[in-house]
Amino acid sequence: MPEALLLDDVHHAFGGHRALTGLSLAVAPGEVVAMIGLNGAGKTTALRVLTGRLRPTSGTARVLGRDPARLPVDAARRLGHVVGAALVDPALTVAENLRVAAALHGVDRDRSSSAAGAVCDRLDLGAWAHVPARALSLGNAQRLGVACAVVHSPSVLVLDEPTSALDPRGVVLVRELVRERAAAGAAVLVSSHHLDEVARVADRVLAVHGGRVVGSLDPGGAELERRFFDLVLAADSAGASAAASTRDAA
C-alpha cells in the first residue's frame, strides 16, 4: 500500500544548527507510527515539514503523494494536524471553535454542527461547549485542539505531543480516538516523550536522534526505554567514530 505520509532524506538547518540530517520515514494507511526522541532531536521540525509549515533545505516530503507546502484542496480535506498551537481561537467558545474547524477543513455547512457535536462528545468536551477557549484548563485546551484536528474525520493525522498536558482520562480518550482513526484507515504519525503511552498507541516506534531516524522499536517488547537509549548511544558512538575517521583522513 502506498505511503500516506513520507519524508525521504530530508535535511534542514536553522542558521548553523542542523535540525534534520537526512530524516526518512513513511506511514501507511491504517498505521499508527510514533516518533520518540530527546528534546531537539528533530521531531517537531519533521512534523512542521510534513504539514507544509517549513520548506526543507533538501529532501522530499509527501502527504497523500502531494507536496505539503502546496497541498491541493482535495488532499487538504483529508489532513488533520496539531503541531504547536492548534486551530483554536481563544475568543470563541468550544462549540464555535469546532464548527469553525469543520468549516475550514471543508465540511459542508449543514454537516458542520453535527460533526462538531460528535467530536465534542467523543472527547468529552460537552460540559465546556459554551465556554470560551481561553477559559479552558491546559488539558481541556489540548483536547479541544485535537478535536479541531479530527472534526472532519481525516485520513491522515499528524499530532505533536498530543497528550503532554492531559490527565489519565484524557490520555485514554485521545489514545482511543487515535486507534479508532487508524482502524478507519487513517495514517497517524504521533510524536511523544511518553514511552508508556507510545507503547500503547503505536504500531511502530521510530527513534529520532540528531535530526534523523536512528532505528525502529517494537512497541510491544519489554524495556522500551532501555532499547531507545541503546539506539541513541549507538548513534552517538557511530557519529563520534565517523568524525574521528574524517579527522584522521584529513
Partner 1 sequence: MSALRTALRVEALAWRRSTVPRLATPLLVGLVPLASIGLVALARSGAVAGAGAAKLADYATGDLATTHLEVAGQVLAVAVLVAGGFALAAAFGQPLADGRAGAYFGLATPRGTLALARCVVVLGWVAACVVVAVALTLGASAVAAASLSAPFGPAAWAAAGRALAAGLLGAGLALPFAVVATATRSPLATVGALIGVVALTQVVVLVGGGAWFPYAVPSLWTGTGGPDAAADVGGAALAITAAVAPVGAGVVVAQWRRLTDV
User: Which residues make up the interface to partner 1 (CB under 8 A)?
Assistant: 48, 51-55, 63, 68-69, 71, 73, 76-77, 79, 81-89, 91-92, 96, 100, 103-106, 109
Q: How near is the Cβ of 53 to partner 1 at its closest, in Å?
A: 5
Q: Which is nearer to partner 1, 7 or 87 (CB)?
A: 87
Q: Which is nearer to partner 1, 134 or 169 (CB)?
A: 134
Q: Which is nearer to partner 1, 84 or 220 (CB)?
A: 84
Q: How near is the Cβ of 126 to partner 1 at its closest, in Å?
A: 21
Q: Which is nearer to partner 1, 70 or 247 (CB)?
A: 70
CB 100 within 8 A of CB 89: yes
C-alpha cell at 199: 507503547
Q: How near is the Cβ of 146 to partner 1 at its closest, in Å?
A: 12
Identity of the amino acid at 52: G
H helices of 130-183, in order, are 138-150, 168-183
Q: How near is the Cβ of 77 to partner 1 at its closest, in Å?
A: 5
